[in-house]
């Protein structure tokens, strides 16, 4: 498996973990009654875009390999 293809599940796992941590912090903050909102980043969207870029890079890489 090439490094681009191997990076797809890694990026997905890291994005899921980061999104989970962000949601957990937000729930804990709301439970404590803190009105100061932490900056919320669009982690799901960024993860999806990163995976899309990796898929495209992988497709380009695998279709332009020299044959023979």
Using one digit for the tens of pLDDT, what is the confidence trace for 25-62? 888 888 888 766 677 889 999 999 999 999 999 999 99
* Degrees to nearest 5, angle at CA 20 with 17 and 22: 110
The single-letter DSSP state of residue 33 is T
* Degrees to nearest 5, angle at CA 50 with 49 and 52: 65
21 band by pLDDT with thresholds 50, 70 and 90: very high
- At 37 the pLDDT is 67
Cβ proximity of 58 and 5 under 8 Å? yes
CA–CA separation, 48 and 43 (whole Å): 8
CA–CA separation, 60 and 11 (whole Å): 19
């Amino acid at each position: 498996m090439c490094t681009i293809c191997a990076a797809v599940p890694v990026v997905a796992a890291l994005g899921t973990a980061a999104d989970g941590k962000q949601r957990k912090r937000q729930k804990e903050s709301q439970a404590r009654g803190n009105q100061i909102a932490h900056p919320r980043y669009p982690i799901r969207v960024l993860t999806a875009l990163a995976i899309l870029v990796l898929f495209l890079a992988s497709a380009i890489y695998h279709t332009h390999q020299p044959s023979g």
